[in-house]
Amino acid sequence: MNQPSEIADRDGPYLKIRNVTKRFGDFVALQDVNLDIRRGEFISFLGPSGCGKTTLLRAISGLDVQSAGSIEQDGRDISNLPVNQRDFGIVFQSYALFPNLKIKDNVGYGLVSAGKSRTEIKSRVAELLTMVGLADQAEKYPSQLSGGQQQRVSLARALALSPGLLLLDEPLSALDARVRARLRGEIRELQQRLGITTVMVTHDQEEALTMSDRIVVMSKGKIEQIGTPDEVYRSPASPFVADFIGRMNFIPGTLVSGTSADCKGAVLSFTTALTYVQGTPITICLRPEDIVVRDIASSSNAVDVEVGVMEFMGNHFATTLHVSGTHLNVSADLSMNDVRDLSIRPGSKVKAGLPADRLRVFSTT
Amino acid sequence: MSTAALEEPWATSSDRGAVAPVRQRMSRDDLTMRIVLLLLTGWLVITVLLPLGALLIKSFEGADGSFVGLSNFALFFANPSLTQSISNSLTIAIVSTIICVLLSFVFAYGLMRTCMPGRGIFRLISQVPLLAPSLLPAISLVYLFGNQGFAKSVMFGYSIYGPIGIVIGEVFWTFPHALIIMVTALSISDARLYEAASALKASPWRTFWTVTIPGARYGLISATFVVFTLVVTDFGVPKVIGGQYNVLATDIYKQVIGQQNFRMGAVVGLLLLLPAVFSFAIDQWVQRKQSAAMSSRAVAYEPKPDFVVDTAFLVICGLIATAILVVIFTALFASLATLWPYNLTPSFKNYDFDNMDGGGWQSFYNSLRVASLTAVFGTAIVFAGAYLMEKTRGFGAGRFVFQFLALLPLAVPGIVLGLGYIFFFNSTANPFNFIYGTTTILVVCTIAHFYSVAHLTAVTALKQIDQEIEVVSSSLRVPFYRTFFLVTLPVSLPAVLDIAMYLFVNALTTVSAVVFIYSSQTTLASIAVLNMDDAGDVAPAAAMAMTIFLAATFVRVVYTVLVRGVLGRTQAWRRR
Ligand SMILES: Nc1ncnc2c1ncn2[C@@H]1O[C@H](COP(=O)(O)OP(=O)(O)O)[C@@H](O)[C@H]1O
Ligand SMILES: [Mg+2]
């Protein structure tokens, strides 16, 4: 990514969300949400079902305005504007195509009301359909297309009026896995080509990790972390994020110094120093794939382990390692090469490293 | 955990002042929709709520128009012949309900849970009574079992004029209503429960009582109350065949038309409102329970052929269907006979309405006119109202009030509504007084009378359309009415036509509401049946009832054929 913070400094954020709270009766669906989205950025709202992602998207679109707080788009306060005075295109999981209109009429739907001439509309529709690779489907009805094709039509329709903001609510969730993977790439490519600021709601971490410039991880109506896919994966800001994205070992322990803790008998050291007093209960997070069994660096916590049951996962083995002389068990992913070269099998005794710079430590209180 | 947010530079304390609630500005669409919805609410207030209010006020008024509290009610309960009607009405309703619900359950079971042959035909025949006024079965019964009836001997000396005749007529007339409910109830059952039961080696008898009946219990409850209400408030059947046996519905008629005692009519009207309101409340409750009971993962039950069961149901359903057809054909033959039962030579003498009392053929043309106007304007109003109620953004209170008013007619018997119309529109203080005695008031009243079912049909159809379509439209800055005419209406066309058909047929066959508000220029066919029967011209009455039935059937058939053709051509997009 090319220095987005500089762009942000120069232009100011494109979308500025401040203290947005949404209540449904007594239930707080969004609590004091703050977020800046830069021009041209692809942002994903990621979180478990019911955490408020759609609610935030609906506030941005004006479909269901926030109870309090403000939203600015391109320097304009849009907090209380009705939907049709805002500037966005939207795509839903259900496609929401007009079932009785042909594909070309679906795509040209907004252009007619915008007072464009027939020829203008015709050429714009053709351009949009070509853009999503459906130029030859213009005369068909939605029900004659596959799910993936319908979603592309819906995308073309949303982009017809060249909106400043594209909103996608679980756009790929209704599609089967292979179509989903292909459309992921297509949407991202299109977004980058048009440079359109995009917000996508998803509960699928893979989708968020592969498509976004930045991910907003949400839980229970609050933002847990904002960061690039790499940041939220490598340095989750909370145990929630650590747990939600990827697989994770949660190792309970107590601090013995600022940079080490006793975990069920194994003393593990880590690089980020904590200021808590000795004896503070903490949780150490470690991804199974970060555990190494050869070329163990001196900065790693090297331990003797006994290999438990090994599950073949296709490109690696998932296994549990028991740290000898302690009560500590950790899940580890071992590469095919390591398993073959070191002849690892259930019951093998090997050396393993839990790299200090890969341990994320959170106070348990 | 807001540590992530706190790291952002802009989250300074000065920024955190904005706690004022956000109110969205209304767009022009929002404003238009609210205004039209309010206008339609006003329409329902005038055509439903205020007439009921007038009825209520009337029941508390003395002869001079002063407020007399409950003294009219006291008068009513002091009159033994009137209170006798209460127990008569209840007796008739309870007996008819038990018979009708049992028969409709068996019939529906045959249709939904067995492989008996001819299910399509049986289903068609079961709906036939809907196409005739409730007077028709009563007239047929007179011909079958009356003083000169050809099957009089099977009555063993009992008279058909009275409770027996009323019960048979009511069961005939309410049967299709109960059947629709039972079919729905039996269609939503989970095949997995039956598989579980047979895996547990439960006997068919036990499975029936532990799986089938509990599964259909809401349908049974709902049908029971619907039939009960229909019977208590129907006045066509007892009017024709009740003889000296008085019930509440005929009492209203006698008090108002016979004795011009409007206040007593209002009192009886309010009493008739009670079972209707009660059954309405029960039905709402049942609907909620029933939709909750249907999980989306339920597997539809597929009956398997079973010779004994299928044959048994074929016999039972065949008997019921035959009974329905016998009633219809009796009226047909009686109307075509020169002088039943002495001279059975066919003739159209009884169809020579112009030389009889009752308004002549003109009343039939009036009926067609009222039915057409009701279908056209009623459908437009109902669909527009349902659309705005579903799609207007915000405005929760307004939409709630509209919904309430739209469902209110479901709880108001026609006869009560008609009476309210007299009180409300006949008052010279009412600016709408000028429609009194015109075709307009008949159309307005009929739309109001049948509003709820049409409204629910429209709402159901609208709910089946992707809710996000409107959102997309407004994000494309397309005005709502454009999307309404371009997408919503075409997509809902089958439901729209169904509503029009429903209103048309009911307007053609109804007697209860309009009997109070027709004038000598606007007599209707169904009322002509009533009046001719009253005057002793039973054969012409049968002929007019048959004319209505044939017209309704004709329109229904043409409609079915047309709809197939038109929808086939204009709705190409429905095909995959
Ligand atoms: N109109 C509504 N009325 C009441 N509660 C709602 C409404 N819309 C959403 N909610 C609640 O708000 C929470 C967040 O919903 P949503 O934003 O749709 O979640 P998701 O993150 O899955 O998109 C959920 O608990 C949901 O039940
Ligand atoms: Mg959602």
Task: Name chain A contacts of B18, Cβ cutoff 8 Å.
Answer: 18-19, 68-70
pLDDT of residue B429: 86
Take atom 26 of ligand 1 and give the residue whose Cα is closest. A50
A80-94, B203-217, B267-281, B477-491 — which is least confidently predicted? B203-217
pLDDT of B4 over the 60 cut: no
> What is the chain A residue with the closest CA to B23?
A80
Give residue-wise pLDDT tens across range A86-111: 999 999 998 999 999 999 999 999 99
| Residue A156 tokens, joined | 């073309």
Q: What's the mean pLDDT in A263-291?
A: 90
Those of residues 149-178 in A touching chain B at CB distance below 8 A are: 157-158, 160-161, 163
Count of C-beta atoms within a 10 Å radius of residue B221? 20
**Nearest-CB residue to A222 (from B2, B21, B478):** B2
Tokens of B285: 């409750």
Residue of chain B nearest A113, judged by CA positions? B478
For the cut 60, the answer to whether the pLDDT of residue A145 exceeds it is yes
- Which of A81, A109, A217 to probe by mutation at the B interface, max B CB count within 10 Å? A109
Q: Which residue did the predictor score with more confidence, B382 or A273? A: B382
Q: How far apart are the CA of A106 and the centre of ligand 1, in A?
A: 29
CA A218 to ligand 1: nearest atom: 21
Best CA proximity match to A292, nearest among A338, A242, A236: A338
Task: With CB atoms and an 8 Å threshold, state whether B20 touches A65.
Answer: no
A184-193, B16-25, B55-64: least confident range: B16-25
pLDDT greater at residue B549 or residue B576: B549
Residues of A in contact with B30 (CB under 8 A): 82
Closest-CA distance, B491 to chain A, in angstroms, reads: 7
- For ligand 1, mutation pick of A27, A49, A92 (most atoms within 8 Å of CB): A27
Compute, in angstroms, the gap from residue A44 CA to the centroid of ligand 2: 12
Pairwise CA distance, residues B573 & A99, whole Å:
7
Nearest-by-CA chain B residue for A145: B576
Q: Using CA atoms, how far apart are residues B537 and B526, in angstroms rounded to an integer?
A: 14
Task: Supply B340's token pair.
Answer: 């039943």
**Torsion angles phi and psi, residue B296, rounded to 5:** -70, -15
Whether residue B394 lies within 8 A of chain A, CB to CB, comes out as no
Cα–Cα dist A42/A32, whole Å: 22
Q: Three-class SS of residue A361?
A: strand
Residues in chain A closer than 8 A to B572 (CB atoms): 141
Q: Is B184 on the interface with A (CB under 8 A)?
A: no
- pLDDT grade, residue B26 (50/70/90)? confident
Q: Which atom of ligand 1 is nearest to the CA of A58?
A: 17
Average pLDDT over residues B555-572: 81
Who has greater pLDDT, B504 or B295?
B504
Burial of residue A191, with CB atoms counted within 10 A of its CB: 0-12 exposed, 13-18 middle, 19 or more buried: buried
CA of A46 to the centre of ligand 2 (A): 10
Beta carbons of B331 and B143 less than 8 angstroms apart: yes
pTM of the full structure: 0.85
**pLDDT tens-digit readout, A194-240:** 999 999 999 999 999 999 999 999 999 999 999 999 999 988 999 89
When mean pLDDT is compared across A193-207, B81-95, B236-250, B332-346, the lowest value belongs to B332-346
* Chain A residues near residue B478 by CB distance under 8 angstroms: 109-110, 112-113
pLDDT at position B576 is 53
Residue ranges with CB less than 5 Å from ion ligand 2 = A 54
Mean pLDDT confidence for A233-260: 90
Would residue B478 be called left, alpha or beta, if left means φ above 0 and alpha means ψ between -120 and 50 degrees?
beta
Nearest CA to ligand 1 atom 7: A24
pLDDT band of residue B13 (cuts 50, 70, 90) is very low
Distance A52 CA to ligand 1 centre (A): 6
By alpha-carbon position, which residue is closest to atom 2 of ligand 1? A24
Which residue among A99, A110, A226 sits closest to B4, beta carbon to beta carbon?
A226
Residue A161 has pLDDT above 90, yes or no: yes
Tell me the chain A residues in contact with residue B468 when contact means C-beta distances shorter than 8 Å. Answer: 92, 94, 96
Please report the DSSP string for A125-152 in residue order.
HHHHHHHTT-GGGTTS-GGGS-HHHHHH
Using the Cβ of A55 and the Cβ atoms of chain B, whether some distance falls under 8 Å is answered with: no
pLDDT of residue A10: 54
> Which residue from A54, A94, A199, A216 has its CB within 8 A of the most atoms of ligand 1, so it is best to mutate?
A54
Provide the shortest C-alpha distance from residue A270 to chain B (in Å). Answer: 21
* Chain B positions in Cβ-Cβ contact with residue A63 (cut-off 8 Å): 471
Chain A residues with CB-CB distance to B476 below 8 A: 89, 109-110, 113, 157, 160-161
> What is the C-alpha to C-alpha distance for residues A183 and A9, in angstroms, rounded to an integer?
32
Interface test with A, best of B8, B24, B574 (most A CBs within 10 A): B24
Within an 8 Å CB–CB cutoff, is residue B19 touching chain A?
yes
Residue for token pair 């409910």: B181
Residues within 8 A of A (CB atoms), B 33-72 only: none
C-alpha to C-alpha distance for B514 and A270, rounded to whole angstroms: 88
Neighbours of A325 (CB within 10 A): 10
The whole-number pLDDT of residue B11 equals 38
CB neighbourhood size of A80 (10 A): 16
Q: How far is the CA of B387 from the centre of ligand 1 (A)?
A: 24
Average pLDDT over residues B115-134: 90
- Selected for mutation to probe chain A from B27, B33, B472 (highest A CB count within 10 Å) is B472
A66, A96, A160: residue with CB nearest B22: A66
Measured CA angle at A16 (ends A10, A17), to 5 deg: 155
Q: How far is CA A15 from CA A10, A38, B87, in A?
A: 14, 7, 72
Q: Atom of ligand 1 at shortest distance to CA of A22?
A: 12
For residue A89, which residues of chain B lie inside 8 Å, CB to CB? 475-476
Q: How many CB pairs under 8 A join A and B?
A: 139
What is the residue whose two structure tokens read 């070329």? A295
Mean pLDDT (whole number) for B285-297: 64
Residue contact A69–B469, C-beta within 8 A: no
Q: By mean pLDDT, which of A161-165, A183-187, B25-29, B209-213 is the weakest?
A: B209-213
A67 vs B: CB within 8 A = yes
Q: Which residue of chain B comes nearest to A95, CA vs CA?
A: B468
pLDDT for A254: 92
Element (H, E) at A224: strand A222-227
Poorest-pLDDT segment among A256-270, B247-261, B496-510: B247-261
Tell me which of A181 and A300 has the higher pLDDT. Answer: A181
Ligand in nearest proximity to the CA of A58: 1
CA of A92 to the centre of ligand 2 (A): 10
| Ligand 1 binding site (Cβ under 6 Å of any ligand atom) | A 24, 27, 29, 47, 49-55
Phi first, then psi, for residue A107 (nearest 5°) are: -70, -35
Q: Which two tokens stand for residue A288?
A: 């199974």
| Residue in B with minimal Cα distance to A139 | B573
Q: Do B22 and A63 touch (CB under 8 A)?
A: no
pLDDT in tens, A49-60: 999 999 999 999
Q: Are B409 and B449 in contact (CB under 8 A)?
A: yes
Q: Which of B86-100, B203-217, B290-304, B470-484 has the lowest mean pLDDT?
A: B290-304
**Does A114 contact B at CB distance below 8 Å?**
yes
C-beta separation of B231 from B170 below 8 A: yes
Q: Which two tokens stand for residue A86?
A: 């805002």
B394-411 exposure pattern, b = at least 16 Cβ within 10 A, e = fewer: ebeebbebbbebbbbbbb
> In this complex, is the C-beta atom of A83 within 8 Å of any C-beta atom belonging to chain B?
yes
Cα of A62 from ligand 2 centre, angstroms: 16
